[in-house]
Amino acid sequence: MAPDESGRTLSIALAGNPNVGKSTVFNALTGMHQHTGNWPGKTVALASGSFRSRGRPCRITDLPGTYSLMSRSEEETVARDFILFGGADCTVIVCDASCLERGLNLFLQTAQLTENIVLCVNLIDEADKKHIRVDFQRLERELGVPVIPVCARERRGLTKLIDAVAGMPKYRQTHHCLRVRYPKLIEDAAAMLVPAVERESGGRGDARFLALKLLEGDPDLAESMEEHLHLDLSAHLKQEVERARQYLRDRFIDDDRLRDILTQTTVRAASEIAGRCVEIPRDWDRRDRRLDRILTGRFTGTLCMLLLLGIVFFITITGANYPSGWLMDGFSALGTALRGALEAIHTPDWIVMPLMDGVYLTLTWVVSVMLPPMAIFFPIFTLLEDSGYLPRIAFNLDSKFKHAGACGKQALTLCMGFGCNAAGVTGCRIIDSPRERMIAVLTNAFVPCNGRFPFLITMISAFLTGTLAFPLNAAASSLILVCTILLGIGMTLLVSRLLSGTLLRGVPSSFTLELPPYRRPQIGRVIVRSVLDRTVFVLGRAAAVAAPAGLVLWLCANVRFGGSSIFEWLSGLLDPIAAWFGVDGVIFAAFLFGLPANEIVLPIMMMGYLSTGTMVEAGSLVQMSALFTGNGWTVLTAVNVMILCLFHSPCATTLWTVKKETGSLKWALLSAALPAACGLLLCFVITQLTRMIGAL
């Protein structure tokens, strides 16, 4: 068929399971001509891009990875609604050639929504390595749609895919796609509903599919129809739905049984088609099973996980020191030049000092300390994700989170929190249950992010292990740091259990967790994806918060009333209260003013003790230890400061992200109060017990 010469942009929906290379197909087609935005009214991000085929402009939308369109999660709802109501001229379903059966289930569900479908069978190179043979010609005959074998990372088959998409007919009605046939009772009930659905929707959408989903009792479908088709479901249609469902109940098919039949029918059909078209050798996954015995074993799985976590932290913290120093030196030189330029044009001191010593210093400090560890951690994290290991971490920790009344996927968001709590909160979108998603959001700050690790290491080295010889020093410091991290994880589980039994009461949900095959990660794509999607995103929010906070901090440290600054007055006011928790007012004030970013808490403490009016860069451990000891610090003080660092309110960037994700200031304030309350309680108990033992 000749391509449409009208010049109208062809709209394409790209759908598929997670871990099938869908994003690789999308990136290969669009290059850099893409942007990301949310589906209206949802927090789920959709990436859109453009390319040209046969001279015709095409716009492709990358839908969230999903296993089905049964609308159990927001991602499934968004994917279903875009295919059904988003005006797509063609839907491309991406499948994994080595796991074709699972992808065919999604294809068959999509076939109930639209008729213009292309099946893209990706990762044919991996299937060849595992000696899996797919009969693509027979598969095309079975499905009645174009089936295109593709290796997206090598750009093989993409031209044929583009031609197949561009060759789709303009009108869906002219192309026939495979229809799944359900038991006669269900087909009869759906047929009873079709006339009413067609009348309500004006012929928009697939009436049979809408009828089946209304029969199933899909809780979101009626809302989606009203929103996207701009109609108010009439009382007559509701009566017709109830009449059809009663027809099924009278024949012993209740609502739960109906959902099972609808799901099992497509699963069984996918299995039968794959059985006829795919030849799989007996030991095709031998290597993966051997690795899984180690990486998901009862004892070895946890050991490997902790060992890998330690290696990632070591690389991140050690590797970030040098670029942080380079950035700080560069910003310092730039700051000197800017100050000189402002003074050269006779800018008043009351403008130069707050601008340079407040806004500029705080902003550049946050960027210098925050950017390098994130630029190292997130690519490593994404490499682990791309290799297939991260889902195995969730598998290892699933039972722990289930006992805590939470979801096993929270293990993944917890790991993301080690890089940045704001990114961890954003990652909570992968949790389907709103209740369990909220638990994960509220407890993500209980694990230390990259901004808190340097502070913790400084405290450990200066006060707990500084007197030991080098090998013992390093070993003891690593052990204490690991124990600190485990304390954060333990508190995450404890608070999750308390929330699930009180404020967010409910039963832990079940979820489908795929253990994808181990793959060699695509390093170039991983770096671009992690830097653009995570590092730049978080850094942008941090900069937006740090700049105004720097001005406030400078004003509080330099505006004086009655011989003392606001910072000094607040520190003195907090001194009696802080004493109950084994610290002093300067420490409390530093944590309060360190809200913009965890990285500036230590410089603010030093500013408070030295009364400089601006943040001070930390010197050697000996100098720092002498400064803190001279201001009354003991080992107890250092331990309490470490606890406050581990369990204090998340930074402003994280709080902003919580507000954005939950849409409520109440939950953002609660996410700030929970870790702070736990930290203060621990400090109080440790301090009072230590004093009691000392009194004895």
Q: From CA 357, how far away is CA 351, in angstroms rounded? A: 10
Residue 495 CB contacts under 8 Å (≥ 6 apart), including other chains: 442, 443, 446, 674, 678
Is the entire prediction scored with pTM above 0.75? no
- Other residues' Cβ atoms within 10 Å of the Cβ of residue 272: 13
Tokens of 250: 């009278």
**Closest C-alpha among 140, 64, 131 to residue 121:** 140
List beta partners, residue 147.
119
Q: From CA 23, how far away is CA 14, in angstroms rounded? A: 9
Residue 301 CB contacts under 8 Å (≥ 6 apart), including other chains: 294, 295, 392, 396
pLDDT given for residue 643 in this prediction: 94
What's the alpha-carbon Rg for the chain, to the nearest Å? Answer: 29
Low-confidence stretches of the chain (pLDDT beneath 50): 1-5, 33-43, 170-176, 696
Cβ proximity of 202 and 196 under 8 Å: no
**Host H or E run for residue 61:** strand 56-62
pLDDT given for residue 39 in this prediction: 38
Q: From CA 30, how far away is CA 51, in angstroms rounded? A: 6
List beta partners, residue 95.
121
User: What's the farthest any 2 CA atoms get from each other in the chain?
Assistant: 93
**C-alpha distance across the termini of the chain, in Å:** 93
The length of the chain is 696
Q: Tens digits of per-residue pLDDT, 239-255?
A: 888 888 888 888 888 77
Q: Is 242 exposed, middle or buried (0-12, 13-18, 19+ CB in 10 A)?
A: exposed
pLDDT given for residue 508 in this prediction: 61
- Other residues' Cβ atoms within 10 Å of the Cβ of residue 684: 14
